[in-house]
Structure 1
Amino acid sequence: MDGIFTALMVSYDQDGTINEQGLREIIRYNIDVCKVDGLYVNGSTGENFMLSTEEKKEVFRIVKDEVKDQVKLIAQVGSINLNEAIDLAKYATDLGYDALSAVTPFYYKFDFEEIKHYYNSIINSVDNKMIIYSIPFLTGVNMSLDQFAELFENEKIIGVKFTAGDFYLLERMRKKFPSKLIYAGFDEMLLPAAVLGIDGAIGSTYNVNGQRAKQIYELAKQGEIEQAKEIQHVTNDLISEIIENGLYQTIKEILKDKGVNAGFCRQPMKRLSEEKVAIAKDISKKYL
């Protein structure tokens, strides 16, 4: 379960309907062109939190049907509706997903005992493994080293997607939990995370920049830091221009420039102007 995982995008028609053919094309581009090691399905990048339960299941189904066993699959099932999270966990497990993940419950100020109950309830309902999805800047949930230790007492909780800038905590986690999987969640900080000994990374820009991400990760493991640094510089130039133009929309336009039917983002995400679509195409040609 180590390596580079794409936080998978989903193709939507202009009315927000899932475009199955487009989703399959995105999957194929990730596997065949970006050469990623796995896919992280129904995360933020897939616009998951704007989908109904049945739509989330449809995405899980299409992805598994297209991928079969070509790469590893992680199903993000987290929801502040615990019953939905458990339902999705059972569905993805029955489909044969290699592991589950769940974002920390957000919006309400859940205390740690409630968060612990949430994770244990989900993973103990199925015969599968859990990867915590920690993304404090969006959820407002910051957990300490001791709290992660409590969660990891459940042997079915095998790791964390660490999308935070606290690299002191990352280093402490790596030292304290050598047998747990740690995935870096910030694409722009892949190299420093790799130097600290992560097991892989999960990111949005890997939908188009997966090959460079794999190079950075492998070079860092080999101790080729200067070469990895140069690739990270180029990667961060790309990321900066994508973010400035509109993150998800621009990645989809880059995919379209590569011949992939990546569709549109769901409302209330806005459409790119013609000027920004042109900028996205320029980014595609400049970096990819």
Structure 2
Amino acid sequence: MKGLYTALMCSFDEQGNINEQGLREIVRYNIEVSEVDGLYVNGSTGENFLISTEQKKQIFEIVKDEVGDRVKLMAQVGSLNVDEASELAQFVTDLGYDAISAVTPFYYKFDFEEIKDYYNTILEGVDTKLIIYSIPALTGVSMNLEQFGELFENEKIIGVKFTAPDFYLLERLRHAYPDKLIYSGFDEMLLSASVLNVDGAIGSTFNVNGKRAKQIFTLAQSGRIDEAREIQKVTNDLISEILENGLYQTIKEMLETQGVHAGYVRKPMKRLSEEKLLKARSIAEKYL
């Protein structure tokens, strides 16, 4: 399960329906062009929190059918509705996904015992492994070393997608739990996380920058830090331009320039203006 995983985008048509052919093209591009080790399906980048349970299932089915056994698959099933999360956990387990992941429950200010119960409930009766998805900036949920340790007491919880800038905590986690999988979640900090010996990374920009990300990770592992730093610099230039122009919209348009029908974002996300559309194309021409 180690390596680089793309936080997979989903292709939607103008009405917000899943574009199956476009989704299959995004999957193939990530495997055949970006050459990532796996796909993280229905995460934030897949606009997961804007779609229905049935749409989530449809995406899980299409991706598994397209991938087969070519790369590893993680299914993000986390939801404020723990019944939905449990249902999806069973659904993807039956489909043959390699692991599930679940974002910490958000919006309501859940205490740690409630968060712990959420994860244990999702895993009840399901023969699978789970990666915690920790992203405090968006969920408002921060956990300390001891709390991660309590969650790891459940043998089915095998690691964490660590999307936080607290690299002191990251180092402490790596030292305290050498047998747990730790994935970096901030693409712009991949080199710094790699130096701390993470097991891999899961990133949005890997949809268009997977090759560079893999180079950074591989070079850092072999101690070639100066080379890795140069590629991280180019990567961060790209990320800066993407963020300034509109994250998901720009990545989708960059994929479109490569012949991948990545489609539209779902409302309430807005579409790119003509000016930003042209900017997205120029970013693609510059970096792809």
Range into which the TM-score falls when normalised by the shorter chain: over 0.9
Alignment of 1:246-261 (within 5 A): 246-261=246-261
| C-alpha deviation, 1:137, in angstroms | 0.1
Q: TM-score, normalised by structure 1?
A: 1.00
Distance 1:231 1:82 in 2: 40
| Counterpart in the other structure of 1:222 | 222
Alignment of 1:257-268 (within 5 A): 257-268=257-268
Distance 1:124 1:29 in 2: 35
In structure 1, give the amino acid aligned to 2:179. S
Aligned length: 288
In structure 2, give the amino acid aligned to 1:13. D
| Counterpart in the other structure of 1:54 | 54
Unaligned runs of 5+ in 2: none
| C-alpha deviation, 1:125, in angstroms | 2.8
Distance 1:198 1:35 in 2: 19
Alignment of 1:86-235 (within 5 A): 86-235=86-235
In structure 1, give the amino acid aligned to 2:137. F
| C-alpha deviation, 1:123, in angstroms | 1.5
Runs of 4+ in 1 over 4 A off after TM superposition: none
* Deviation digits for residues 16-42 of structure 1 (CA, Å, limit 9, x no counterpart): 000000000000000000000000000
| Counterpart in the other structure of 1:36 | 36
In structure 2, give the amino acid aligned to 1:139. T
- Matched-pair identity in %: 72
RMSD: 0.4
Give yes or no for contact 1:80–1:105 (8 Å, CA) kept in 2.
Answer: yes
Distance 1:133 1:236 in 2: 23
Distance 1:169 1:214 in 2: 24
In structure 1, give the amino acid aligned to 2:268. P
Distance 1:271 1:115 in 2: 35
| Counterpart in the other structure of 1:25 | 25
Distance 2:264 2:213 in 1: 25
In structure 1, give the amino acid aligned to 2:165. G
Give yes or no for contact 1:254–1:280 (8 Å, CA) kept in 2.
Answer: yes
* Deviation digits for residues 177-200 of structure 1 (CA, Å, limit 9, x no counterpart): 000000000000000000000000
In structure 2, give the amino acid aligned to 1:286. K
| C-alpha deviation, 1:94, in angstroms | 0.3
| Counterpart in the other structure of 1:4 | 4
**What SS class does the counterpart of residue 59 from structure 1 fall into?**
helix
In structure 2, give the amino acid aligned to 1:11. S
Distance 2:128 2:3 in 1: 20
Give yes or no for contact 1:86–1:125 (8 Å, CA) kept in 2.
Answer: no
Unaligned runs of 5+ in 1: none
